[in-house]
Each structure stands twice: as structure tokens, then as C-alpha cells.
Structure 1
Amino acid sequence: MWKRLTSIILLATVIGCGYGFTGGVNNLPPDVRSIAIPVFSNNTSELGIETIFTNAVIDEFLHSNLLPIKDESQADAVLLGTIKSIDISSLAYDRRDVSIQNRLTLYLDIVLRTQKDGTVLWQVKNLADNQEFEVCSDPVRTEANRKEAIREIAIRTAEKIHYRTFENF
């Protein structure tokens, strides 16, 4: 009962202070009413990473419902992404000097441009994010951990791209 009452008081305080959550703002030019998100380019040796990132970005845009996603030929703007590189470095070792924790870092270039004349609305070069993952004696588990690290980076990157597109324009 006290938890519920505390939650209600906290919510009333936050609302009463004029605090608001972001996520519903569209600061794009008025003639940009739709977006295309083609499959990202992949300049790495990581097979399928372009699909993981493209799907994460599409999901983020669909979730917000601020701008319809259309085919590239019908959209007002196009969001292009290039996955430039992927680096893995060891962070921790066991007493036999075997890596037990790695950091995976991805670098991307992102550009949003208008479809009609190619005007660049925003772009980021070398957008980087990283995620640590456990290295196990079982290579299958290590690979699953590495793939999960990639997915987590993709989700965070999609959030950054979405924010940059709408609110930080």
C-alpha cells in the first residue's frame, strides 16, 4: 500500500513540476513527412550485422510513429547507414592470462538527406558505441554473448539515431 501511495505522490510531484518526457517532438522541416530506411552498408566481415542494425532502426521509428516509413522512391527523406568497423579488445584475463571479458566497439556513419535534392539534414561520422561481453570456455556461448553485445549496441544506436532525427535537429 505504501509503495503505491509513494508512487502516486512521486508521479504527481513530477507532473506538477512541469517535467515532461521527450519522444513526441518532430523538428524536421515541414516538407519531410516520410522516411526511407534502406539496409545499412556493411564494411565489416561480420555477416548479417547490417540487417541487425537496419531492423533496430526501423523498429525504433515504427515504435514512435512520428514519421511513416516508405519505400525509398516514395519517401521525403532517406536515412543511410554504414557500419564501418568492428573492434574487439580484451578487458580482463584469468590467472592463466586467458581473456575472460571483451569489449566490442562498433563505428558507423549515418546521414539523413532529403530525397528531392539530396540536402543533408544531419550526419554523424564515426558514431561509436561499445558493449562488454563474457568470454567462456565454451565457444558457442562466447559467440552468443558476442552476438548479444551487437544487438544491444544496435538498439542503443537506433535510439540515438531516432533522437537525432526528431529532437536534436
Structure 2
Amino acid sequence: MKKLFLLLLFTVVVLVACASPYDPAPQLLPSYVKNVYVRPVVNNTNQYGLEDKFTKAIIDEFMRDGRLSVVTTEEEADGVVVCEIKRYVLQPLTYDENMVTEQYKLWVLINVFFIDKHENVTLWAEPNMEGIQIYADSVKGGFGGMTEEEAREYIWEKLARDIVKRTIKGFGSTGGISERKVQD
């Protein structure tokens, strides 16, 4: 009877522990960070012109959010967003009976860092942040289709929202803080 009671008690403890997942406290942006500068995005792909529209999307999202001012020079900024496009992959997914592509998957991989200019440290880093959009080719006349440019704009908007949310609402919730000094 005692063994049965201990087994039942152990089972209850395990179930209660599993029911409450690990939920770390969010780390909020330091109070002295009032404005942000977005460095021009670095494009390390062979696709021309990606960096300009992505930089504009990040700036627009910070302005739309309104909690941090966007400044025009890095010297007057409290925080700096640094972003690099690592990969840009357009992959055909489905074909019609004539082997013409009907559906594509656009996959973009970026590295993002947020630098605290006052303390000269990287507050958070997100290597390999990805944006994915699967879309039907609108040129072929697919219903609800889009062009590669429209899919790319959708990815830029989504990644920009993620960057702003990560910056303002919390960063490094599972260990993204880096105490390394930023190279000049």
C-alpha cells in the first residue's frame, strides 16, 4: 500500500511539473534606450537590391510602433540594429503537367544584433532568423497568387515586426545576452 501511495505521489508530481513549462521572465530594454538607429542591411547574397527594401521595412516598423524614435546617425542613437542577409533561396515546390512551376517557397536567412551604445555591448543577437513564404505563381494565373517581389515584401514585413518586437518587448529570454564588447 505504501509503495502504491509513493508511486501515485510521484506520478502526480511529474504531471504537475510537466503542466507548467519553463517560462523565463522577459528582459526589458534598458530605460535609457529612447531612440534607435538602423544600420543599412548588409546583403551577402547574389540577389541585387534586397538590402534597401529590408532596411526601409525595419525603419518603417520602428516608426509604426512609435515606442522608440528612429534617428538618422549612429552617433545620436542609444541602440543600433545591425542586420545581415545570409541566404536567399527560391525553391520550386509544385509543377503542372507541362513541368511549369506553379508554387514556390522563398526562404531568407538573416543575422540580427541589437547593440547598446551606452554600455557598448550586444544586448541580443539572433543568428539564423528566418523568413519563409510559400506562394502560388500569379504570372501563371493562379488564384490568390503573388509574385516573387510580393513574397519578398511579405517576408521583410514579418521579419521587421519580429525585430521590433524582440527589441521592445524582450530579448534574450533564454540566453541571448552577450557580454562581449562591440568592435569599433
TM-score range, shorter chain: 0.7 to 0.9
Output the CA distance in 1 between the equivalents of 2:90 and 2:122: 32
**CA drift at 1:118:** 2.6
* Superimposed CA distance per residue, residues 90-132 of structure 1 (whole angstroms, 9 cap, x where no aligned partner): 1111012221111110000000011234311111001011112
What's the offset of the Cα at 1:137?
Answer: 5.1
Matched, 1:43 2:44: yes
Residue matched to 2:170: 168
Q: Does 1:126 align with 2:150?
A: no
Q: Letter of the 1:45 partner, please give it.
A: N
Tell me the distance in 1 between the aligned counterparts of 2:81 and 2:91. 30
> Does 1:101 find its partner at 2:96?
no
Structure 1 or 2: more helix by fraction: 1
How many Å apart are 1:49 and its aligned residue? 0.8
Task: Report SS of the residue matched to 2:75.
Answer: coil
> 1: CA distance between counterparts of 2:166 and 2:93?
31
Paired AA for residue 27 in structure 1: L
Q: Which residue matches 2:116?
A: 114
Match of 1:84 among 65, 86, 91: 86
Q: Aligned residue pairs: how many?
A: 140
SS at match of 1:54: helix
SS of match in other structure, 1:46? coil
Percent identity of paired positions between Structure 1 and Structure 2: 29
Distance 2:168 2:85 in 1: 22
Consecutive aligned runs of 4 or more in structure 1 exceeding 6 Å deviation: none
Shift of 1:27: 2.6
SS at match of 1:164: helix
Code of the residue aligned with 2:148 in structure 1: it is R
Work out the CA distance in 2 between the residues paired with 1:100 and 1:122. 39
The CA deviation at 1:55 is 0.7
- 1:72 matches 2:74: yes
1:31 equivalenced with 2:29 (yes/no): no
Aligned partners of 2:91 and 2:66: how far apart in 1? 38
Looking at CA atoms only, which structure, 1 or 2, has the larger radius of gyration?
A: 2
1:66-100, Cα deviation, whole Å (9 max, x unpaired): 01111211101110000111011111110122211
With the length of structure 1 as denominator, give the TM-score of the two structures: 0.77
Counterpart residue identity of residue 110, structure 1: V
The answer as to whether partners of 2:45 and 2:87 remain within 8 angstroms in 1 is: yes
Shift of 1:134: 2.9
Q: Distance in 1 between matches of 2:150 and 2:99?
A: 25
Structure 2 counterpart of 1:121, which letter?
Answer: L
1:153 Cα deviation after fit: 0.1
How far the C-alpha of 1:60 sits from its partner, in A, is: 0.7
